[in-house]
């Protein structure tokens, strides 16, 4: 049994623990427990970590102080000037119409300067660092004359300074020089300092109707193929992007299946939709299109699309306009070709305004929408000038924009228009006419502000000379010929409507490389699109070709069987109850069936147009000969049978 003193001590300690505050109780329990040594170790480590953090903060603040003082010393030093900046040089950095603002330019407008009397703190280590930095900088920097009030004037010159190339230009003054493979640069500045630009490979061309857009398409096709670019081609090997429906991203082959990660050029027929196009093309894509005078374009549209409901029932374009377009109904499919087709192609409302006030408002909206999406609009009437402007906008070479006219009509299918008809067309296509007037003006303003008329004419002459050389090198007749005279059937242009679309014949003595170049220049739109599709999607193209052959074979087989059955019926009807003629009839039927099969293979798209009556008449004419031979056949019926071919 414990002594009373120890029992009293335990009771006092227990009372003290019960009456103490909770946090002190926890601390005492932790310190007096068996894990008290672990608690002491954790406290020591915590103190060490805090000390290390504070030391790092102090060192970082000291380094920042040194760098700040060094930067202040560098700001006070004069800048290194590599070349004299003359007022005339700055003029050459901008276009001919840009004004030169002779304002003083601050060297460091974003740096707040200190007073010259302000000195850095005198610390020994900082002074040593500054001395080393200043020695290194002064050994590589030449002293420049003092600049008044820290200002640099455009006309101020600094002697004995090394030269360096001129700054890159936003709108360069172009000196026209012949392009060669040895010449790396595309353009030269007026101050003889070579300035390069990056050729644009991300391009969207809105292909409008009857505006020489097929020639632009051929230029883009050739450029993309030679540079191994990826085209946003129509789905399922179509030639158009499901026009006249609004363009959608899934109209492009490879978008829905995600088999193509990046597209470079989008240039097939479509009804423009800015939001959907931007889903397919990169952000830095260059957009451009081409317009044509609505008067000449309307005459071409009437001839080419004569089969549409609006033009089908009228004899001439004059009759259509005189009667106020009574045959025109905007809700009927394909009638959009008959009115304001340019506005329609840009994805805008092409319905006719009811009055001049609405015409002014809507034409302003149409022009603003096009200018927002398309930085460059070409003009078909000035096609060579447009190609030169396109060359500079894309930073391409003259060879890359050289071309032949494609999908153009022969002169005999063109009709001149009277002054009265011209005015009626302008009124009928009022939105397109306003559109053309505006962009025709901006076209020449752009030329005046960038190239100038004289330099433009020089490059146009170079382009035309290059085209003449290509015609002499590639073409047999030196120009376009009617489709009946095109020798290579794979190069015949597609014929549609009443228009006669011309083609070309290549020279026979061309070598492989030259022939390949020339053939690309004259390949029609449909054939070129199909070839690019086959190149980009070989597996899909092979599968479609196999399926097309199976469909054509099944059609030919069905046609052959149906016609053969009809001929057999007609032959038996013409010569009934004559069993001795079975072999003869079979030979006749088989021979005619072979002719029918050959015809149906060539005309597989017109399998239902075969005229059975014509063959029946031929068989009836031959039946008289069989009647004359009747007695001869019966007399030899017990003899050795002859071959069916000999009986005929």
260 vs 537: CA distance, rounded Å: 10
506 vs 478: CA distance, rounded Å: 9
Per-residue pLDDT tens for 416-469? 999 999 999 999 999 999 999 999 999 999 999 999 999 999 999 999 999 999
Q: What's the token pair of residue 439?
A: 């962009």
Cβ density class 226-265: b for 16+ within 10 Å, e for less: eeebbbbbbbebbbbbbbeeebbbebbbbbeeeebeebbb
Would you call the peptide bond into 610 cis, given omega within 30 degrees of 0 as the criterion? Answer: no
Q: What's the token pair of residue 589?
A: 């039927």
CA dihedral sign of residues 466, 469, 473, 478? positive
Delineate the domains of the chain, giving CATH numbers in brackets.
14-77 (no CATH), 86-107+149-157+167-196 (no CATH), 203-536 (3.40.50), 542-647 (no CATH)
Asked if pLDDT for residue 319 goes beyond 80, the answer is yes
| Residue 462: exposure state from Cβ atoms within 10 A (0-12, 13-18, ≥19) | middle
Cβ(197)–Cβ(186) below 8 Å: yes
Asked if pLDDT for residue 328 goes beyond 50, the answer is yes
Average of per-residue pLDDT across 466-486: 91
Q: Cα–Cα distances in Å, from 282 out to 207, 285, 289, 375? A: 19, 6, 18, 16
Per-residue pLDDT tens for 286-298? 999 999 999 999 9
DSSP state of 231: B
Give the per-residue pLDDT at 500.
87
Give the per-residue pLDDT at 88.
42
Average of per-residue pLDDT across 86-112: 38
Give the per-residue pLDDT at 460.
97
Choice among 32-41, 383-392, 485-494, 576-585 with the minimum mean pLDDT: 576-585
Asked if pLDDT for residue 514 goes beyond 70, the answer is yes
DSSP state of 105: E
DSSP state of 150: G
Average of per-residue pLDDT across 569-593: 53
| Residue 214: exposure state from Cβ atoms within 10 A (0-12, 13-18, ≥19) | buried
356 vs 567: CA distance, rounded Å: 67
- Residue 424: CB partners within 8 Å, gap ≥ 6? 321, 322
Q: Which residue has the tokens 């240039």?
A: 267
Asked if pLDDT for residue 40 goes beyond 50, the answer is yes
Asked if pLDDT for residue 537 goes beyond 80, the answer is yes
Per-residue pLDDT tens for 373-394? 999 999 999 999 999 999 999 9
What percentage of the chain has pLDDT greater than the value 90? 48
Q: What's the token pair of residue 309?
A: 């409901």
203 vs 182: CA distance, rounded Å: 27
Torsion of CA 545, 547, 548, 549, to 10 degrees: 90
Task: Give the residue with greater pLDDT, 548 vs 217.
Answer: 217
Q: What's the token pair of residue 159?
A: 């002697």
Give the per-residue pLDDT at 127.
62
Asked if pLDDT for residue 304 goes beyond 80, the answer is yes
Average of per-residue pLDDT across 38-46: 85
The pLDDT confidence band at residue 513, using thresholds 50, 70 and 90, is very high
Asked if pLDDT for residue 518 goes beyond 90, the answer is yes
Per-residue pLDDT tens for 205-227? 999 999 999 999 999 999 999 99
Task: Give the residue with greater pLDDT, 353 vs 326.
Answer: 353
Give the per-residue pLDDT at 38.
79
Classified as helix, coil or strand, 646 is: helix
Q: Say what the pTM is.
A: 0.60
- Residue 520: CB partners within 8 Å, gap ≥ 6? 218, 221, 222, 225, 528
Mean of the per-residue pLDDT values for the chain? 76
Torsion of CA 644, 645, 646, 648, to 10 degrees: 90
Per-residue pLDDT tens for 143-171? 444 444 443 333 333 344 444 343 343 43
Average of per-residue pLDDT across 588-600: 48
Give the per-residue pLDDT at 557.
80
Give the per-residue pLDDT at 541.
93
DSSP state of 481: B
DSSP state of 281: S
HEC-encoded secondary structure of 8-31: HHHHHHHHHHHHCCHHHHHHHHHH
604 vs 489: CA distance, rounded Å: 17
450 vs 392: CA distance, rounded Å: 10
Highest mean pLDDT among 72-81, 110-119, 390-399, 562-571: 390-399
Give the per-residue pLDDT at 205.
98
Cβ(431)–Cβ(343) below 8 Å: yes
Backbone phi, psi, residue 546, to 5°? -65, -45
Q: What's the token pair of residue 135?
A: 């020695």
Q: Per DSSP, what are the bridge partners of residue 481? A: 503
Give the per-residue pLDDT at 462.
97
404 vs 543: CA distance, rounded Å: 33
Q: Per DSSP, what are the bridge partners of residue 106? A: 151
Cβ(200)–Cβ(265) below 8 Å: no
Give the per-residue pLDDT at 109.
38
Per-residue pLDDT tens for 332-366? 999 999 999 999 999 999 999 999 999 999 999 99
Q: Are strands 376-379 and 286-291 parallel, antiparallel or unpaired?
A: parallel
Q: What's the token pair of residue 458?
A: 């020089």
The pLDDT confidence band at residue 405, using thresholds 50, 70 and 90, is very high
């Amino acid at each position: 049994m414990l002594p009373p003193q120890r029992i009293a001590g335990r009771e006092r300690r227990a009372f003290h623990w019960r009456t103490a505050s909770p946090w002190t109780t926890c601390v005492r329990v932790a310190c007096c427990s068996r894990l008290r040594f672990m608690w002491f170790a954790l406290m020591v480590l915590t103190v060490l970590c805090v000390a290390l953090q504070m030391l790092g903060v102090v060192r970082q603040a000291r380094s920042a102080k040194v760098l700040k003082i060094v930067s202040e010393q560098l700001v006070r030093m004069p800048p290194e000037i590599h070349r004299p900046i003359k007022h005339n040089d700055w003029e050459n950095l901008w276009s001919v119409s840009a004004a030169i603002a002779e304002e003083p330019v601050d060297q460091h407008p974003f740096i707040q300067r200190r007073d010259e009397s302000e000195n850095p703190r005198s610390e020994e280590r900082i002074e040593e660092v500054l001395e080393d930095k200043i020695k290194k900088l002064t050994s590589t920097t030449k002293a420049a004359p003092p600049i008044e009030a820290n200002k640099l004037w455009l006309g101020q010159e600094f002697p004995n300074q090394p030269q360096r190339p001129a700054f890159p230009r936003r709108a360069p003054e172009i000196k026209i020089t012949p392009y060669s493979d040895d010449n790396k640069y595309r353009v030269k500045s007026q101050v003889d300092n070579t300035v390069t630009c990056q050729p644009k490979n991300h391009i969207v061309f809105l292909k409008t109707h009857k505006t020489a857009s097929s020639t632009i398409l051929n230029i883009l096709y050739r450029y993309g193929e030679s540079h191994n670019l990826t085209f946003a081609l129509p789905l399922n090997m179509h030639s158009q992007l499901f026009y006249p429906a609004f363009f959608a991203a899934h109209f492009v082959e490879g978008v829905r299946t995600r088999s193509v990660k990046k597209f470079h050029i989008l240039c097939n027929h479509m009804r423009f939709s800015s939001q959907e196009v931007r889903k397919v093309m990169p952000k830095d894509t260059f957009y451009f299109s081409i317009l044509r005078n609505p008067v000449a374009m309307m005459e071409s549209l009437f001839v080419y699309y004569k089969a549409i409901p609006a033009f089908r029932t009228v004899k001439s374009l004059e009759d259509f306009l005189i009667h106020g377009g009574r045959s025109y109904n905007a809700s009927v499919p394909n009638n959009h070709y008959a009115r304001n087709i340019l506005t329609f192609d840009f994805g805008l409302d092409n319905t006719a305004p009811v009055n001049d006030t609405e015409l002014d408002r809507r034409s302003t909206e149409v022009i603003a929408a096009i200018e927002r999406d398309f930085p460059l609009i070409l003009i078909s009437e000035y096609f060579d000038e447009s190609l030169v402007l396109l060359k500079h906008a894309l930073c391409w070479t003259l060879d890359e924009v050289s071309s032949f006219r494609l999908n153009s009509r022969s002169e005999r299918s063109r009709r001149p228009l009277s002054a009265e008809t011209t005015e009626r067309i302008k009124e009928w296509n009022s939105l397109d006419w306003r559109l053309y007037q505006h962009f025709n003006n901006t076209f020449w303003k752009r030329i005046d502000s960038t190239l100038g008329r004289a330099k433009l004419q020089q490059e146009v002459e170079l382009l035309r000379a290059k085209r003449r050389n290509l015609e002499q090198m590639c073409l047999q007749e030196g120009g376009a010929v009617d489709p009946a005279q095109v020798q290579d059937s794979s190069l015949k242009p597609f014929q549609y409507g009443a228009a006669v679309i011309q083609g070309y014949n290549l020279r026979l003595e061309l070598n492989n490389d030259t022939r390949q170049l020339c053939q690309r220049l004259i390949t029609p739109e449909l054939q070129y699109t199909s070839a690019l599709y086959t190149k980009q999607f070989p597996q899909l193209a092979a599968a479609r070709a196999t399926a097309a052959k199976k469909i054509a074979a099944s059609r030919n087989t069905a046609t052959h069987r149906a016609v053969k059955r009809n001929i057999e019926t007609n032959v038996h009807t013409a010569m009934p109850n004559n069993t001795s003629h079975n072999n003869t009839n079979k030979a006749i039927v088989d021979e005619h069936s072979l002719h029918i099969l050959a015809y149906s293979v060539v005309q597989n798209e017109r399998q239902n147009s075969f005229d059975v009556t014509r063959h029946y008449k031929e068989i009836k004419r031959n039946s008289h000969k069989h009647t004359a031979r009747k007695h001869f056949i019966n007399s030899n019926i017990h003899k050795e049978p002859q071959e069916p071919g000999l009986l005929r």
